[in-house]
């Protein structure tokens, strides 16, 4: 092996380095369910709760089809979907207190409070941190 070839192999994470494609499918399904549950907690009516299953399914279809169109196959689309779905589900947990207050306003018939610029900045910084940590751990 020459010095040029060192480090050019497929990089693996510490936690998922031994995941097979089947295990990635399982992780994708579990993360999709986690995202659907997180999204259902953000709506009030039963009809809308049932509709909240559609975004994770649409996201999965988009990532798989987009990856296939670009020539990616196997684990890559599953890793992308898992990271995205888990990242969004984690963000739901991170902002649980704020979201609970907003949902209480909606349930009482009042409009939600508008986000301040600082809240938007904090959201995007937290989202970036979650995405970066997902990239490290997955």
Structure tokens at 120: 């938007």
In-domain check, residue 11: no
In-domain check, residue 115: yes
Structural domain including 80 reads 19-137
* Averaged pLDDT, 24-46: 85
| CA dist., res. 35 & res. 94, Å (int) | 14
| CA dist., res. 119 & res. 84, Å (int) | 21
| pLDDT 10s digits, 65-106 | 777 777 766 677 788 788 888 888 888 888 889 888 988 888
In-domain check, residue 120: yes
Is the pTM higher than 0.75? The answer reads no
pLDDT at position 2 over 60: no
Q: Where are the alpha helices (DSSP H) in the chain?
A: 21-40, 46-51, 54-69, 75-94, 96-107, 117-137
Are 66 and 14 contacting, i.e. CB atoms less than 8 angstroms apart? no
In-domain check, residue 10: no
Number of domains in the chain: 1
């Amino acid at each position: 092996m020459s010095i040029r070839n060192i480090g050019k192999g497929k990089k693996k994470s510490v936690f998922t380095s031994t995941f097979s494609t089947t295990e990635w499918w399982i992780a994708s399904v579990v993360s999709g369910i986690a995202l659907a549950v997180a999204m259902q907690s953000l709506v009030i009516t039963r009809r809308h709760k049932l509709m909240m299953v559609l975004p994770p399914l649409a996201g999965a279809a988009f990532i798989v089809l987009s990856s296939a169109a670009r020539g990616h196959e196997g684990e890559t689309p599953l890793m992308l979907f898992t990271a995205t779905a888990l990242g969004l589900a984690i963000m739901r947990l991170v902002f649980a207190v704020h979201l609970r207050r907003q949902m209480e306003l909606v349930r009482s018939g009042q409009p939600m409070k508008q986000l301040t610029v600082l809240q938007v900045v904090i959201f995007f910084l937290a989202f970036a941190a979650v995405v970066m940590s997902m990239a490290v751990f997955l």
